Structure 1
Amino acid sequence: MEVGQLKHALASHEVVDQAIGVIVATGHMSPGESFDVLREVSMHTNIKLRHVAELVIEWGRTGNLCADVRHELDRRLAQRRAQGAASQPA
């Protein structure tokens, strides 16, 4: 791998990690679950993971998020919350 490719990979990783932090804070879930949410939003909106991460970071900073990503993010967070509630003992 070239130095340029390594720098790009590192920068992408940092962006994704920051977005995971936003989802951890807003979605009250683990970093692993937050990464899964990002990945699922990326897959279901057909937007590259890094770009979804950039949008989520911007949303955390400004409160603005495009409608299609917002809808899918809300959907995935609600699904994760429901799964978590179902696994809690009564």
Structure 2
Amino acid sequence: MRQQEDSVHRIIALQQEVEQLKHAVVSHAVVDQAIGVVIAYAGVLPGTAWDVLKEVSQHTNTKLREVAEHIVQWPRCEWLPPEIRQALDSSVERHRHSPVPSGSVDAR
């Protein structure tokens, strides 16, 4: 009986883990798409676009995935929440004026 209970608990734990992994894969895809939008919008490198997304998330106190979802929808719906748009523009502007490490190529 104890072994059967352990098996049931293990199955439940594995099902929960699978659901968490599915959620993580979707979140990662949305963040990658948002990086692409920031690259196209600001003409920055992928690493810089990632930094911009993190900064927007931190400055607006909004989860990164939520920021990414807004940014991915932005070209289609032509609207961003004002606080996200302001933080995005500010972060892009900061990164445009930051020095580029030697040896790297920037699309500015």
Question: TM-score scaled by structure 2?
Answer: 0.75
Q: Which runs of structure 2 are paired with 1:1-90 in the superposition (5 Å)?
A: 2-84=17-99
Task: Give the letter for the 1:9 counterpart.
Answer: A
| Count of equivalent residues | 87
TM-superposition CA deviations, 1:2-42 (whole Å, max 9, x none):
11111000000000000000001111011111011000000
- Structure 1: give runs of 5+ residues left out of the alignment: none
Larger Rg: 2
Task: Give the letter for the 2:65 counterpart.
Answer: R
Task: Give the letter for the 1:33 counterpart.
Answer: T
Cα-Cα RMSD: 1.8
The whole-number CA distance in structure 2 between the counterparts of 1:62 and 1:27 is 18
- Structure 2: give runs of 5+ residues left out of the alignment: 1-15
Deviation at 1:47, TM superposition (A): 0.2
Task: Give the letter for the 2:27 counterpart.
Answer: S
Deviation at 1:62, TM superposition (A): 2.2
Q: State percent identity of aligned pairs.
A: 49
TM superposition outliers: structure 1 runs of 4+ over 2 Å: none
